[in-house]
Chains A and B, each alone.
Chain A
Amino acid sequence: MERYSAFGLVKHALTGHKKWPEVWRSPEPKPEYDVIIVGGGGHGLATAYNLAKNYKGKRVAILEKNWIGSGNTGRNTTIVRSDYYYKPSAEFFKYSLSLYGKLSKELNYNVMFSKRGSLTLSHSRDDFDFQRRLVNAMQLNGIDIRHIGLAEIKKICPILNFSKDARYPIYGAMWEPGAGTVRHDAVVWGYARAADALGVDIIQNCEVTGINKDLQTGAVTGLETSRGKINAKTIGLAVAGHSTELAAMAGFRLPIRSMALQAFVSEPVKPVLNTVISSRAISSYASQSDRGGLVMGGGVDPYNSYAQKGNTPVLEEVLSGLIELVPSFSRVRLLRQWAGIVDYTYDSSPIIGPSPVPGLFLNCGWGGGGFKAIPAGGEAFAHLLATGQVPPLVEAFSLSRFKDARLVDEAAGAGIAH
């Protein structure tokens, strides 16, 4: 791998930028690997990178049915925060955010982490009191977050509608100064380049169509794919909204619903919004990209879907809510809209751990909020695949919690839908 540097930029300028080496290889699949990861999203790629870096000597491959980043990791609204309520989630997301802070250096790839802070508004007395309770709990868990009043909100984000007779009057906000945005494609490409340099085979256009098991032991032996049979005794699934399909191939079910989550981007405008604003009461949020587009999102489309297209009632709900919050946005034109198929669990917490099939491991259930989890999720999943042991950081996120009634209910706790 050629390291990226200012010197390298000058050197390549002299040859007209025509001699940059390829960023990762496109190898043919080998007949066998020690570990295979299905799904070339952020979680799959970060897992492969951590496996190759921390547990040397294993032959590792990633199988991706389209191109890497074609799933939710390339479709999300790039917000990274750690404002979760329960201790296991707080520990996990705090750690993940801290890893994002070091990721550009770690990967020698600029992931453009912009620590612009996240402002979550409250619109009623009840909403305000609920936020105070949340902030207290989060502070006890060591999250850097504050409950702030109108004067401070006005300083952070003057374009909000502060009038008393606004449709959604502003009472207060939770302010997480260390939150921000990270360029999603750069996370995909940075991990892919670093994993490839450590010997990981990234195999694109390779769809897994079947999971083979040993008849005697029931353990996994390998995969059927659109590019032939590929064997491995350790297999990790990181396929987000397609997790139940893959589980069905291995003969079990998962407590997951696949649903469409939409994002909306406006035409580019001059800088007007230098933070992330969101409102759980009206289920809308927005930030402004470096290019100038307003990147907006909200709640998930309210029924199961594999269609990867959003429906109009949610579009209207999200955008009409935002226009009430920031009236000047009403004159901005919408440029693009899309959806990703996300994997919701009942308690809005992820699943990382063993599956009912020996040798087959799960990384799923991130719903609409797993981009922020990629660095820590990849590290934990790599540990699991390499050692078979669940690291303490993710012990609470086992599949067995649904049977044992040990839910980590962030939907009720932090009011986090994603």
Chain B
Amino acid sequence: MLKIDCPWCGSRNEDEFSNGGESHLVRPEPPTSVTEDEWANYLFYPTNTKGPSKETWFHKYGCRQWFNVTRNTATHEILNVYRIGENPPEENS
């Protein structure tokens, strides 16, 4: 069982949350000139990182807010939690 530290509610069990996949994805623009390769990369090609991975999580059975998590996919250890719109902590310094 993961313990996830919601930036709004504090530490809760993982079954209150749902995982929204990788974070910091930038939607290609403008739609009129985006190539098929760019769309495919955006939609279907996750980095699928082994190790520290940046993800969005949703506090489904709580405050119903989205936020960012850095989680090690090889160990499930949660390295940090930060709000939507913020940069990952290591990039702040």
Q: Judge whether A302 and B18 touch: CB under 8 Å.
A: yes
Q: Judge whether B37 and A403 touch: CB under 8 Å.
A: yes
Q: How far is the CB of A65 from chain B (nearest CB, A)?
A: 14
Q: Judge whether B73 and A346 touch: CB under 8 Å.
A: no
How distant is the Cα of A303 from the Cα of B49 in the complex, in angstroms?
12
Which residues of chain B from 30 to 79 have any CB-CB distance to chain A below 8 Å in the complex?
36-37, 39-41, 43-50, 53, 55, 71, 73-76
How distant is the Cα of A180 from the Cα of B19 in the complex, in angstroms?
34
Q: How far is the CB of B42 from chain A (nearest CB, A)?
A: 11
Q: How far is the CB of A410 from chain B (nearest CB, A)?
A: 15
Contacts of A256 in B (CB 8 A): 46, 48
The majority secondary structure among interface residues of chain A is loop
Q: How far is the CB of B76 from chain A (nearest CB, A)?
A: 5
Which residue of A303, A312, A346 contacts B43 across the interface (Cβ within 8 Å)?
Answer: A346
Which residues of chain A from 298 to 356 have any CB-CB distance to chain B below 8 Å in the complex?
302-307, 309, 311-313, 345-346
Which residue of A304, A309, A402 contacts B44 across the interface (Cβ within 8 Å)?
Answer: A402
Which residues of chain B from 14 to 33 have any CB-CB distance to chain A below 8 Å in the complex?
14-15, 18-19
How distant is the Cα of A253 from the Cα of B41 in the complex, in angstroms?
9
Known: A255-B44, A313-B14. A306 touches B74 (CB 8 A): yes
Q: Judge whether B1 and A307 touch: CB under 8 Å.
A: no
Per-residue interface assignment for chain A, residues 240 to 255, with 1 indicating a CB less than 8 Å from any chain B CB and 0 otherwise: 0000110000000111
Contacts of A312 in B (CB 8 A): 1
Tell me whether A258 is interfacial, beta carbon within 8 Å: yes
Q: Judge whether A306 and B44 touch: CB under 8 Å.
A: no
Tell me whether B9 is interfacial, beta carbon within 8 Å: no
Tell me whether A81 is interfacial, beta carbon within 8 Å: no
Known: A313-B15, A402-B40, A403-B36. A307 touches B75 (CB 8 A): yes
How distant is the Cα of A98 from the Cα of B69 in the complex, in angstroms?
46
Q: How far is the CB of A345 from chain B (nearest CB, A)?
A: 8
Contacts of B18 in A (CB 8 A): 302
Known: A254-B45, A311-B1. A305 touches B40 (CB 8 A): no
Q: Judge whether B73 and A307 touch: CB under 8 Å.
A: yes
Q: How far is the CB of B31 from chain A (nearest CB, A)?
A: 14
Contacts of A372 in B (CB 8 A): none
Tell me whether A94 is interfacial, beta carbon within 8 Å: no
Contacts of A253 in B (CB 8 A): 41, 45, 47
Tell me whether A257 is interfacial, beta carbon within 8 Å: yes
How distant is the Cα of A102 from the Cα of B74 in the complex, in angstroms?
39
Q: Judge whether B2 and A311 touch: CB under 8 Å.
A: yes
How distant is the Cα of A282 from the Cα of B21 in the complex, in angstroms?
23
Tell me whether A126 is interfacial, beta carbon within 8 Å: no
Tell me whether A22 is interfacial, beta carbon within 8 Å: no
Contacts of B39 in A (CB 8 A): 403
Q: How far is the CB of A405 from chain B (nearest CB, A)?
A: 8
Tell me whether A165 is interfacial, beta carbon within 8 Å: no
Q: Judge whether B19 and A255 touch: CB under 8 Å.
A: no
Given contacts A256-B46, A306-B73, 5 further A-B contacts (CB under 8 A): A303-B19, A303-B55, A303-B71, A404-B36, A405-B36
Residues in B lying within 8 Å of A, measured CB to CB:
1-2, 13-15, 18-19, 36-37, 39-41, 43-50, 53, 55, 71, 73-76
Contacts A/B (CB < 8 Å), 6 sampled: A255-B44, A303-B19, A303-B71, A307-B74, A311-B14, A313-B1
